[in-house]
A and B are shown apart, each in its own frame.
Chain A
Amino acid sequence: MNQFGFYFDQTRCTGCSACRVACKDWYDIPAGPENWMRIEYTEKGKCPDLFVGYLAAPCWHCEDPLCAAACPVGAIHKREEDGIVVVDRDRCVGNTACDEKCRKACPYNAPQFGPEPGAKMGKCNLCLDRIQAGKKPICVDACPVRALDAGPLDTLEKQYGQTRTAVGFTYAKRVKPAVVFKPKPSSP
Protein backbone atom coordinates (compact mmCIF):
# COMPACT_ATOMS: atom_id res chain seq x y z
CA MET A 1 0.00 0.00 0.00
CA ASN A 2 1.18 3.48 -0.86
CA GLN A 3 0.00 5.38 2.22
CA PHE A 4 -1.14 8.97 1.58
CA GLY A 5 -0.90 11.64 4.24
CA PHE A 6 -0.41 15.27 5.12
CA TYR A 7 2.47 17.64 5.73
CA PHE A 8 1.86 20.63 7.99
CA ASP A 9 4.31 23.50 8.46
CA GLN A 10 3.32 24.84 11.83
CA THR A 11 5.82 27.69 11.61
CA ARG A 12 3.85 29.19 8.72
CA CYS A 13 0.29 28.76 9.92
CA THR A 14 -1.39 32.03 10.91
CA GLY A 15 -4.55 30.27 12.07
CA CYS A 16 -6.56 32.02 9.37
CA SER A 17 -9.06 29.20 8.68
CA ALA A 18 -8.90 29.42 4.89
CA CYS A 19 -8.37 25.63 4.83
CA ARG A 20 -11.35 25.05 7.06
CA VAL A 21 -13.67 27.30 5.04
CA ALA A 22 -12.48 25.88 1.72
CA CYS A 23 -13.23 22.38 3.02
CA LYS A 24 -16.74 23.42 4.00
CA ASP A 25 -17.27 24.97 0.59
CA TRP A 26 -15.95 21.99 -1.33
CA TYR A 27 -18.06 19.49 0.58
CA ASP A 28 -21.00 21.84 1.12
CA ILE A 29 -21.07 21.44 4.89
CA PRO A 30 -23.17 24.01 6.71
CA ALA A 31 -21.76 26.17 9.47
CA GLY A 32 -22.00 24.22 12.71
CA PRO A 33 -20.29 21.44 14.57
CA GLU A 34 -19.28 19.31 11.58
CA ASN A 35 -15.75 20.44 10.70
CA TRP A 36 -13.61 18.07 8.69
CA MET A 37 -10.75 20.54 9.12
CA ARG A 38 -10.27 22.28 12.45
CA ILE A 39 -7.74 24.79 13.77
CA GLU A 40 -6.41 24.12 17.25
CA TYR A 41 -4.92 26.91 19.32
CA THR A 42 -2.11 27.02 21.88
CA GLU A 43 -1.18 30.13 23.90
CA LYS A 44 1.55 30.06 26.55
CA GLY A 45 3.60 32.56 28.50
CA LYS A 46 3.05 36.09 29.67
CA CYS A 47 3.08 39.42 27.87
CA PRO A 48 5.51 40.12 26.18
CA ASP A 49 7.11 36.66 26.12
CA LEU A 50 4.48 34.56 24.47
CA PHE A 51 4.07 31.46 22.42
CA VAL A 52 1.09 31.23 20.10
CA GLY A 53 0.74 28.28 17.78
CA TYR A 54 -1.91 26.87 15.52
CA LEU A 55 -2.46 23.29 14.44
CA ALA A 56 -4.42 22.27 11.39
CA ALA A 57 -6.44 19.24 12.38
CA PRO A 58 -8.03 17.15 9.62
CA CYS A 59 -8.10 13.32 9.68
CA TRP A 60 -4.58 11.92 9.73
CA HIS A 61 -5.58 8.68 7.97
CA CYS A 62 -3.92 6.44 10.54
CA GLU A 63 -2.19 3.24 9.59
CA ASP A 64 -4.29 1.51 12.21
CA PRO A 65 -7.50 3.58 12.41
CA LEU A 66 -9.32 3.08 15.70
CA CYS A 67 -12.45 4.66 14.26
CA ALA A 68 -12.79 1.81 11.76
CA ALA A 69 -12.31 -0.77 14.46
CA ALA A 70 -14.88 0.94 16.68
CA CYS A 71 -17.64 1.26 14.12
CA PRO A 72 -20.34 -1.31 14.95
CA VAL A 73 -21.52 -1.60 11.35
CA GLY A 74 -18.23 -1.50 9.45
CA ALA A 75 -19.04 1.81 7.78
CA ILE A 76 -15.44 3.03 8.00
CA HIS A 77 -12.64 1.46 6.06
CA LYS A 78 -9.07 2.09 5.10
CA ARG A 79 -8.53 1.94 1.37
CA GLU A 80 -6.05 -0.69 0.18
CA GLU A 81 -4.51 1.43 -2.55
CA ASP A 82 -3.73 4.68 -0.69
CA GLY A 83 -4.54 4.13 2.96
CA ILE A 84 -7.13 6.90 2.96
CA VAL A 85 -9.72 6.26 5.65
CA VAL A 86 -13.21 6.77 4.28
CA VAL A 87 -16.72 6.48 5.66
CA ASP A 88 -19.67 4.98 3.84
CA ARG A 89 -22.44 7.32 4.89
CA ASP A 90 -25.12 5.00 3.55
CA ARG A 91 -23.96 2.34 5.91
CA CYS A 92 -23.36 4.63 8.93
CA VAL A 93 -26.27 4.27 11.38
CA GLY A 94 -25.94 7.78 12.78
CA ASN A 95 -24.65 9.10 16.05
CA THR A 96 -27.68 8.40 18.24
CA ALA A 97 -27.75 4.71 17.33
CA CYS A 98 -24.08 4.05 18.17
CA ASP A 99 -23.23 6.89 20.57
CA GLU A 100 -20.45 8.19 18.32
CA LYS A 101 -18.16 5.24 18.87
CA CYS A 102 -15.84 6.34 16.07
CA ARG A 103 -15.39 9.83 17.45
CA LYS A 104 -14.73 8.52 20.94
CA ALA A 105 -12.17 6.04 19.63
CA CYS A 106 -10.24 8.59 17.57
CA PRO A 107 -7.38 10.32 19.42
CA TYR A 108 -7.67 13.30 17.03
CA ASN A 109 -11.38 14.08 16.98
CA ALA A 110 -11.51 13.49 13.23
CA PRO A 111 -14.98 11.90 12.97
CA GLN A 112 -17.48 14.75 12.92
CA PHE A 113 -21.24 15.01 13.18
CA GLY A 114 -23.79 17.61 12.18
CA PRO A 115 -26.14 19.09 14.79
CA GLU A 116 -29.20 16.97 14.04
CA PRO A 117 -29.95 13.83 16.09
CA GLY A 118 -28.93 10.76 14.16
CA ALA A 119 -26.40 12.70 12.12
CA LYS A 120 -24.16 10.51 10.04
CA MET A 121 -20.44 10.70 10.44
CA GLY A 122 -18.44 12.88 8.09
CA LYS A 123 -14.73 13.45 8.01
CA CYS A 124 -11.77 14.43 5.91
CA ASN A 125 -11.24 12.01 3.04
CA LEU A 126 -8.04 13.73 1.91
CA CYS A 127 -10.12 15.02 -1.01
CA LEU A 128 -10.09 11.65 -2.68
CA ASP A 129 -12.10 13.13 -5.54
CA ARG A 130 -9.45 15.77 -6.14
CA ILE A 131 -6.51 13.42 -5.70
CA GLN A 132 -8.04 11.09 -8.26
CA ALA A 133 -8.36 14.08 -10.59
CA GLY A 134 -4.64 14.81 -10.16
CA LYS A 135 -5.15 17.75 -7.79
CA LYS A 136 -4.14 18.45 -4.21
CA PRO A 137 -6.76 18.49 -1.45
CA ILE A 138 -8.70 21.75 -1.34
CA CYS A 139 -7.16 22.71 2.03
CA VAL A 140 -3.68 22.43 0.55
CA ASP A 141 -4.58 24.58 -2.45
CA ALA A 142 -6.39 27.05 -0.21
CA CYS A 143 -3.59 27.76 2.25
CA PRO A 144 -2.50 31.37 1.60
CA VAL A 145 0.92 30.73 3.19
CA ARG A 146 1.53 27.25 1.73
CA ALA A 147 1.69 25.57 5.12
CA LEU A 148 0.00 22.36 3.98
CA ASP A 149 0.84 19.62 1.56
CA ALA A 150 -0.50 16.15 0.90
CA GLY A 151 0.51 13.11 -1.09
CA PRO A 152 2.22 9.75 -0.67
CA LEU A 153 3.73 9.73 2.81
CA ASP A 154 7.12 8.47 1.66
CA THR A 155 7.35 11.35 -0.81
CA LEU A 156 6.39 13.83 1.92
CA GLU A 157 9.03 12.34 4.21
CA LYS A 158 11.68 12.71 1.53
CA GLN A 159 10.69 16.31 0.89
CA TYR A 160 9.99 17.51 4.41
CA GLY A 161 11.63 15.05 6.81
CA GLN A 162 10.17 12.61 9.27
CA THR A 163 9.24 14.80 12.23
CA ARG A 164 6.08 13.43 13.80
CA THR A 165 5.46 15.98 16.50
CA ALA A 166 4.12 19.51 16.65
CA VAL A 167 2.75 21.78 19.36
CA GLY A 168 -0.72 20.56 20.27
CA PHE A 169 -0.18 17.20 18.59
CA THR A 170 0.80 13.89 20.12
CA TYR A 171 1.93 11.13 17.83
CA ALA A 172 -0.01 8.03 18.81
CA LYS A 173 2.31 5.11 18.05
CA ARG A 174 -0.54 2.65 18.31
CA VAL A 175 -2.37 4.12 15.34
CA LYS A 176 0.44 5.75 13.34
CA PRO A 177 -1.15 8.90 11.90
CA ALA A 178 0.03 9.64 8.35
CA VAL A 179 1.55 13.06 8.85
CA VAL A 180 4.90 14.80 8.98
CA PHE A 181 5.43 18.23 10.50
CA LYS A 182 7.63 21.22 10.64
CA PRO A 183 6.84 22.05 14.26
CA LYS A 184 6.99 25.49 15.79
CA PRO A 185 9.63 25.88 18.51
CA SER A 186 7.49 26.11 21.61
CA SER A 187 9.55 28.06 24.11
CA PRO A 188 8.54 31.70 24.12
Chain B
Amino acid sequence: MRVVIMGCGRVGAGLAEQLTHEGHEVTILDTNAFAFQRLLPEFSGKRLVGSGTDDRTLIDAGIEQADCFIALASGDNRNILASEKAKEVYGVKTVVTRVRDPLRSELFARLGLKTFSPTKFGINLAHEALVTAAGGQ
Protein backbone atom coordinates (compact mmCIF):
# COMPACT_ATOMS: atom_id res chain seq x y z
CA MET B 1 0.00 0.00 0.00
CA ARG B 2 1.00 3.61 -0.48
CA VAL B 3 0.49 5.35 2.84
CA VAL B 4 0.75 9.02 3.78
CA ILE B 5 1.19 9.68 7.50
CA MET B 6 0.55 13.18 8.85
CA GLY B 7 2.52 13.88 12.01
CA CYS B 8 5.85 12.41 13.04
CA GLY B 9 5.31 12.16 16.76
CA ARG B 10 5.95 8.92 18.63
CA VAL B 11 2.89 7.27 17.17
CA GLY B 12 3.49 8.53 13.63
CA ALA B 13 7.17 7.60 13.65
CA GLY B 14 6.51 4.17 15.15
CA LEU B 15 3.74 3.45 12.68
CA ALA B 16 5.89 4.63 9.74
CA GLU B 17 8.67 2.24 10.73
CA GLN B 18 6.30 -0.66 11.23
CA LEU B 19 4.63 -0.13 7.87
CA THR B 20 7.92 0.14 5.96
CA HIS B 21 9.07 -3.11 7.62
CA GLU B 22 5.93 -4.72 6.30
CA GLY B 23 6.89 -3.58 2.81
CA HIS B 24 4.55 -0.62 2.41
CA GLU B 25 5.51 2.60 0.70
CA VAL B 26 5.39 5.33 3.35
CA THR B 27 5.59 9.13 3.20
CA ILE B 28 5.59 10.88 6.54
CA LEU B 29 4.83 14.58 7.01
CA ASP B 30 5.59 16.97 9.78
CA THR B 31 5.59 20.74 9.98
CA ASN B 32 8.84 20.56 11.92
CA ALA B 33 11.87 18.79 10.43
CA PHE B 34 13.12 18.24 13.98
CA ALA B 35 10.38 15.63 14.46
CA PHE B 36 12.08 13.30 11.94
CA GLN B 37 14.77 12.67 14.56
CA ARG B 38 12.34 10.19 16.02
CA LEU B 39 12.77 7.97 12.95
CA LEU B 40 15.56 5.39 12.96
CA PRO B 41 18.37 6.27 10.53
CA GLU B 42 17.57 3.24 8.41
CA PHE B 43 13.97 4.35 7.83
CA SER B 44 13.46 3.84 4.10
CA GLY B 45 10.31 5.90 3.60
CA LYS B 46 10.03 9.49 2.44
CA ARG B 47 10.17 12.40 4.90
CA LEU B 48 8.49 15.65 3.93
CA VAL B 49 8.36 18.93 5.82
CA GLY B 50 4.94 20.56 5.54
CA SER B 51 1.41 20.59 6.85
CA GLY B 52 -1.07 17.87 6.00
CA THR B 53 -3.77 20.52 5.76
CA ASP B 54 -1.89 22.19 2.89
CA ASP B 55 -2.81 21.01 -0.59
CA ARG B 56 0.70 21.58 -1.95
CA THR B 57 2.24 19.40 0.74
CA LEU B 58 -0.38 16.71 0.23
CA ILE B 59 0.24 16.65 -3.51
CA ASP B 60 4.03 16.52 -2.98
CA ALA B 61 3.42 13.62 -0.64
CA GLY B 62 1.63 11.77 -3.43
CA ILE B 63 -1.85 11.97 -1.95
CA GLU B 64 -3.35 11.53 -5.42
CA GLN B 65 -1.85 8.06 -5.70
CA ALA B 66 -2.11 7.10 -2.03
CA ASP B 67 -4.17 4.16 -0.83
CA CYS B 68 -4.23 5.30 2.78
CA PHE B 69 -3.95 8.50 4.75
CA ILE B 70 -3.64 8.66 8.51
CA ALA B 71 -3.72 11.90 10.49
CA LEU B 72 -1.65 11.78 13.68
CA ALA B 73 -0.74 15.43 14.20
CA SER B 74 -1.16 16.95 17.62
CA GLY B 75 -4.24 19.05 16.87
CA ASP B 76 -7.62 17.39 16.49
CA ASN B 77 -8.96 20.09 14.20
CA ARG B 78 -6.01 19.89 11.87
CA ASN B 79 -6.32 16.12 11.72
CA ILE B 80 -10.00 16.43 10.88
CA LEU B 81 -9.45 19.06 8.18
CA ALA B 82 -6.63 17.08 6.54
CA SER B 83 -8.65 13.87 6.65
CA GLU B 84 -11.75 15.41 5.11
CA LYS B 85 -9.50 16.80 2.40
CA ALA B 86 -7.82 13.44 1.72
CA LYS B 87 -11.19 11.75 1.55
CA GLU B 88 -13.36 14.31 -0.24
CA VAL B 89 -10.89 16.18 -2.45
CA TYR B 90 -8.30 13.50 -3.26
CA GLY B 91 -10.52 10.43 -3.02
CA VAL B 92 -8.19 8.42 -0.78
CA LYS B 93 -9.95 5.14 -0.06
CA THR B 94 -8.78 4.55 3.49
CA VAL B 95 -8.57 7.55 5.77
CA VAL B 96 -7.96 7.22 9.51
CA THR B 97 -8.05 10.14 11.92
CA ARG B 98 -6.78 10.46 15.46
CA VAL B 99 -9.07 12.71 17.47
CA ARG B 100 -8.03 13.05 21.09
CA ASP B 101 -11.30 14.56 22.24
CA PRO B 102 -13.68 11.58 22.63
CA LEU B 103 -16.77 13.69 21.83
CA ARG B 104 -15.30 15.13 18.64
CA SER B 105 -14.08 11.65 17.73
CA GLU B 106 -17.62 10.31 18.11
CA LEU B 107 -19.14 13.16 16.10
CA PHE B 108 -16.79 12.87 13.14
CA ALA B 109 -17.15 9.10 13.12
CA ARG B 110 -20.86 9.70 12.79
CA LEU B 111 -20.11 12.06 9.89
CA GLY B 112 -18.19 9.35 8.05
CA LEU B 113 -14.56 9.57 9.13
CA LYS B 114 -12.80 6.54 10.57
CA THR B 115 -11.71 8.11 13.86
CA PHE B 116 -10.13 6.76 17.01
CA SER B 117 -9.63 8.46 20.33
CA PRO B 118 -6.56 7.44 22.35
CA THR B 119 -8.00 9.45 25.23
CA LYS B 120 -10.89 7.05 25.46
CA PHE B 121 -8.51 4.07 25.61
CA GLY B 122 -6.47 5.95 28.20
CA ILE B 123 -9.51 6.54 30.36
CA ASN B 124 -10.49 2.90 30.14
CA LEU B 125 -6.97 1.70 30.98
CA ALA B 126 -6.66 4.13 33.88
CA HIS B 127 -10.05 3.14 35.19
CA GLU B 128 -9.29 -0.55 34.94
CA ALA B 129 -5.89 -0.15 36.60
CA LEU B 130 -7.40 1.89 39.39
CA VAL B 131 -10.29 -0.45 40.08
CA THR B 132 -7.99 -3.49 39.94
CA ALA B 133 -5.45 -1.88 42.29
CA ALA B 134 -8.18 -0.86 44.71
CA GLY B 135 -9.28 -4.51 44.80
CA GLY B 136 -13.00 -3.84 44.79
CA GLN B 137 -13.12 -1.49 47.78
Does A associate with B in a complex? no
* Residues of chain A having any CB pair with chain B under 8 Å: none
